[in-house]
C-alpha cells in the first residue's frame, strides 16, 4: 500500500523518535538532555560499552557514530524489529493515535496532483523573483533597499514582485503548460463577479512561504500602493497551505537550531527577514493570525522553551496574554515558553536597525517565564483592598492553573501562585501599616524579600502591585509632590559619608541624573566642595552642606536611609561595603533612568488624573524595564540593595 507523504509526515511529527527508540534502549543520563530532545545510548545494532548512538527529536532521526546506522521512525522498526514498512507505519500511526488510511485510488491521485501543485508554486516563485529585477520592479527594489534588506538577504528568502497586471502571472503559467484548475488550486488566481479569473497578487512585494521541507506552498504579498485596503495579503487555504499549521521560516530556523539556542517567534515575516540579516536565523512567525495550538506544537518540536516575542504596545501585550492562555494548559516538563516584549512603538526590524543586534539580544535576555505573564495579567491594575477581592484573585489563579493537563507541572504552578499571593498581600499589608516591622525593612528586607523578587514573586518590586486603600492617596500619586526617592537618597548619602567614592566615580557623580530637587541641592554642594578641595573627608563635606543651608535636607535624607536600613550608605559602614553597594546602586539608577522620560510622563498623568486607566498605563510602562535585575525598586521609592543583610 502506498502512503501519502502528508500521512507519513503527520504521524512522524506526532511521535517523538525518542519514544520509538526508547522502547529498545536505555538512555545515558549523563549525555542525554531531555529538554532539548537530545538522547544518547549504547547502540542497539552493535555491541558497545560507551554510548555513541544519538537520537534527536528535533530532526526525527537517529545515527550511530560507531557503526554508521541512520534512519527515521520507520527504518528503526524495520531494521530492529524486522517489520515490513506497512507494519512499521501502522505501529507509528497507533502511537500517534491516527487511524490508518484506507486504500483509496482517489487519494493517491490527489497526492500526484498535489506534487504537481508544488511544481506550479515553484514556477510562480521564479516568475516573481524575475519580475523584481525588471523596470516594473524598481519601486519594490527601492522599498526593500529602504527597509535595509541587502540583495543577498532578498535572494536568500527568494523575495519577488507581482506586477500591477491582472494576467501577467496567469499568462506566464499558461505558457508553461499549467492548467487553469491548477492555478486556482494553488490560490494564484481568483474570481470576483466576473467569469474570467485573474491574478490574486498584483503590485505587491512577494514573500514565498515554504513548508517544513522547504517547498513553496503559499505567498504573502505586501501592497506597494497605499490605496489598496489590504496592506498584507496571504494565499488562501489550499490543498498545500493551511495557515494555522505553518510557521514562516520553519525549515531554515530548524536547521539553524542545530548550532544551539532556542527558537524565537515574532509577529511578521518582515521581522523574521530583518532578524535573519542581523544574525538571528532561528526566528519564525505565524502568518497574520494569533498563534495556534498546532503552531505551538511546531515550536516545541524545535525547542522545549521557545521565546515568544511581541511588539511593546497594548496590542502586543494582549497578543502575549492570548499566547499565554493557549500555552498554559499544554505546558509539561520540558515544554514551556518565555515571553519577551519590545520597547514601546518598536518592532524587531526597527530595533535592530536603530540600535543593532545587541538591543534585540537584551530583549531576549529579559524574556519572562509563562508564570510571570499569568501573574502580571491577573494583578496589573487590580485593587485588592478587601478580603473578597483578594479571595477572588486566589480563585482566579486556582482556576487558571487547574487547566494545566500535566499533573506534576500543575502542582508546581499552584504552589508557585500560592507563594506569590502570600508575598503579594504580605507586602500590601506592610505598606498599609507603614510603622510595622515588615514596612520598616524597605523594598527588600533581610534577604527573603530579595529572594522573592529574584524569582519574580515580589509583585510590588516588579511594578505589578495594586492600589491599596485609595488610588488617590497612593505613593505613586504623592511622588510627584516631592517624596524623596530612596535610591537617589542612598547615592547622595553614601557620597557624603564616604567622599572617597566621589573621587573614584567622579565622571558618573558629576553627571548624576536626580529627580528630587532637594537631593539635587546636596549634589551641587558635593560637586562644589570637590572643586574647592573641601571634600577630603566627611566632616568637610558636612560643613559645606551646613554653609549652603541644606542641613535639614541632609538630616532627612539620613533619616530615610536609617529607616530603610540601607546601612552601607551610613558613616559607620566599612569603605569596602560602601563601595560595593554604591557601585550596584549607581548601576541600578542609571539603568532605570533609560526609561525615565516615559515613566515620568506616566506618573505625571496619574498625579493629574488618578484613574484606573492611567494607573494601568503606569504599570505597562514599568513592565518595559528589560533587565529585571537592574530594576529592583518600588516605584514610590526606588529601593537600594547591596546584596547584603541589613543590620538590626
More confident residue, 159 or 334: 159
pLDDT value for 628? 34
H or E stretch at 145: helix 138-146
More confident residue, 533 or 87: 87
Instruction: Please provide the average confidence, as pLDDT, over all residues in the chain.
Output: 81
Contact, 286 vs 248, CB < 8 A? Answer: yes
H or E stretch at 106: helix 105-132
DSSP 391-420: HHHHHHHHHHHTT--SHHHHHHHHHHHHHH
pLDDT value for 183? 93
Q: Read off the pLDDT of residues 327-381 as tens digits, 9 standing for 90 and up.
A: 999 999 888 999 998 988 788 888 998 899 999 999 999 999 999 999 989 988 7
**545 vs 551: CA distance, rounded Å:** 6
Residue 71 in this model has a pLDDT that exceeds 70: yes
Measured on CA atoms in the order 141, 145, 150, 156, is the torsion positive or negative? negative
Contact, 568 vs 578, CB < 8 A? Answer: yes
Ranked by mean pLDDT, the top range of 181-185, 190-194, 467-471, 508-512 is 181-185
The pLDDT > 90 percentage for the chain reads: 44
Closest CA to 297 of 260, 255, 239, 245: 245
Residue 512 in this model has a pLDDT that exceeds 90: no
Q: How confident is the model at residue 116 (pLDDT cuts 50, 70, 90)?
A: confident
Mean pLDDT throughout 276-281? 95
Which residue do the cell numbers 497612593 mark? 474
Q: Three-class SS of residue 383? A: coil
pLDDT value for 495? 93
Give the CA distances from residue 218 to residues 242, 289, 400, 605, in Å, rounded to whole numbers and listed in that order: 9, 15, 37, 47
- Grid coordinates representing 637 are 521609592
**β-bridge partners, 204:** 162, 223
Q: Read off the pLDDT of residues 515-564 as tens digits, 9 standing for 90 and up.
A: 888 898 899 888 888 877 778 889 999 998 998 889 999 999 999 888 88
Q: Read off the pLDDT of residues 588-624 as tens digits, 9 standing for 90 and up.
A: 777 666 555 566 676 677 677 777 666 666 666 655 5
Pair type for strands 338-341 and 307-310? parallel
Q: What is the SS3 string spanning 482-522?
A: CCCCHHHHHHHHHHHHCCHHHHHCHHHHHCCCCCCHHHHHH
Mean pLDDT throughout 95-122? 78
Pair type for strands 232-234 and 216-223? antiparallel
Q: How confident is the model at residue 20 (pLDDT cuts 50, 70, 90)?
A: very high
Q: Three-class SS of residue 299? A: helix
**pTM (two decimals):** 0.56
Mean pLDDT throughout 300-326? 89
pLDDT value for 600? 65
Q: Read off the pLDDT of residues 424-481 as tens digits, 9 standing for 90 and up.
A: 876 444 444 443 333 333 322 333 332 322 333 333 333 333 333 333 333 233 333 3
Amino acid at each position: 500500500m502506498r502512503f501519502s507523504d502528508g500521512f507519513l509526515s503527520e504521524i512522524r511529527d506526532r511521535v517523538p523518535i525518542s519514544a520509538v527508540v526508547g522502547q529498545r534502549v536505555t538512555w545515558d543520563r549523563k549525555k542525554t538532555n531531555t529538554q532539548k530532545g537530545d538522547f544518547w545510548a549504547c547502540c542497539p545494532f552493535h555491541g558497545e560499552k560507551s554510548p555513541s548512538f544519538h537520537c534527536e527529536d528535533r530532526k526525527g532521526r537517529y545515527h550511530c557514530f560507531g557503526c554508521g546506522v541512520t534512519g527515521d521512525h520507520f527504518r528503526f522498526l524495520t531494521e530492529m524489529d524486522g517489520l515490513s514498512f506497512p507494519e512499521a507505519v501502522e505501529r507509528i500511526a497507533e502511537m500517534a493515535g491516527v487511524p490508518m488510511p484506507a486504500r483509496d485510488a482517489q487519494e493517491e491521485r490527489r497526492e500526484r496532483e498535489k506534487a504537481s501543485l508544488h511544481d506550479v508554486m515553484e514556477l510562480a516563485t521564479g516568475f516573481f523573483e524575475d519580475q523584481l529585477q525588471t523596470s516594473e520592479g524598481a519601486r519594490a527594489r527601492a522599498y526593500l533597499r529602504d527597509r535595509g534588506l541587502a540583495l543577498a538577504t532578498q535572494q536568500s528568502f527568494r523575495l519577488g514582485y507581482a506586477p500591477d497586471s491582472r494576467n501577467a502571472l496567469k499568462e506566464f503559467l499558461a505558457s508553461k503548460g499549467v492548467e487553469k484548475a491548477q492555478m486556482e488550486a494553488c490560490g494564484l488566481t481568483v474570481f470576483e463577479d466576473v467569469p474570467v479569473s485573474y491574478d490574486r497578487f498584483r503590485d505587491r512585494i512577494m514573500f514565498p512561504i515554504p513548508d517544513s521541507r522547504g517547498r513553496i506552498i503559499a505567498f504573502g504579498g505586501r501592497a506597494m500602493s497605499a490605496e489598496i485596503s489590504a496592506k498584507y495579503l496571504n494565499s488562501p487555504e489550499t490543498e498545500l497551505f493551511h495557515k494555522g499549521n505553518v510557521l514562516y521560516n520553519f525549515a531554515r530556523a530548524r536547521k539553524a537550531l542545530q548550532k544551539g539556542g532556542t527558537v524565537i517567534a515574532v509577529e511578521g515575516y518582515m521581522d523574521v527577514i530583518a532578524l535573519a540579516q542581523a544574525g538571528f536565523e532561528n526566528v519564525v512567525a505565524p502568518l497574520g493570525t494569533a498563534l495556534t495550538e498546532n503552531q505551538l506544537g511546531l515550536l516545541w518540536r524545535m525547542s522545549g522553551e521557545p521565546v515568544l516575542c511581541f511588539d511593546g504596545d497594548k496590542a502586543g501585550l494582549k497578543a502575549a496574554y492570548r499566547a499565554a492562555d493557549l500555552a498554559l494548559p499544554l505546558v509539561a516538563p520540558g515544554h514551556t515558553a518565555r515571553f519577551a516584549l519590545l520597547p514601546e512603538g518598536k518592532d524587531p526590524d526597527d530595533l535592530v536597525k536603530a540600535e543593532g543586534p545587541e538591543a534585540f539580544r537584551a530583549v531576549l535576555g529579559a524574556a519572562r517565564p509563562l508564570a510571570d505573564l499569568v501573574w502580571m495579567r491577573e494583578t496589573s491594575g487590580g485593587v485588592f483592598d478587601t478580603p473578597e477581592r483578594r479571595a477572588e484573585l486566589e480563585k482566579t489563579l486556582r482556576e487558571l492553573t487547574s487547566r494545566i493537563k500535566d499533573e506534576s507541572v500543575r502542582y508546581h504552578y499552584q504552589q508557585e501562585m500560592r507563594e506569590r499571593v502570600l508575598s503579594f498581600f504580605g507586602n500590601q499589608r506592610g505598606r498599609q501599616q507603614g510603622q510595622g516591622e515588615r514596612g520598616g525593612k524597605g523594598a527588600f528586607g533581610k534577604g527573603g524579600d530579595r529572594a522573592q523578587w529574584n524569582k519574580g514573586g515580589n509583585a510590588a518590586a516588579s511594578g505589578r502591585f495594586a492600589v491599596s486603600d485609595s488610588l488617590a492617596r497612593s505613593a505613586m500619586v504623592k511622588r510627584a509632590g516631592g517624596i524623596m526617592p530612596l535610591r537617589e537618597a542612598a547615592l547622595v548619602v553614601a557620597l557624603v559619608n564616604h567622599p572617597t567614592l566621589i573621587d573614584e566615580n567622579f565622571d558618573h557623580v558629576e553627571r548624576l541624573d536626580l529627580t528630587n530637587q532637594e537631593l539635587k541641592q546636596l549634589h551641587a554642594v558635593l560637586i562644589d566642595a570637590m572643586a574647592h578641595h573641601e571634600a577630603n573627608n566627611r566632616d568637610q563635606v558636612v560643613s559645606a552642606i551646613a554653609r549652603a543651608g541644606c542641613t535639614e535636607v541632609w538630616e532627612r535624607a539620613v533619616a530615610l536611609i536609617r529607616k530603610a536600613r540601607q546601612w552601607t550608605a551610613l558613616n559607620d559602614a566599612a569603605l569596602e561595603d560602601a563601595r560595593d553597594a554604591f557601585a550596584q546602586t549607581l548601576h541600578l539608577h542609571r539603568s532605570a533612568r533609560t526609561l525615565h522620560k516615559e515613566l515620568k510622563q506616566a506618573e505625571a498623568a496619574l498625579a493629574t488624573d488618578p484613574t484606573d486607566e492611567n494607573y494601568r498605563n503606569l504599570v505597562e510602562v514599568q513592565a518595559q524595564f528589560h533587565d529585571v535585575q537592574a530594576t529592583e525598586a518600588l516605584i514610590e521609592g526606588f529601593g537600594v540593595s547591596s546584596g547584603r543583610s541589613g543590620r538590626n
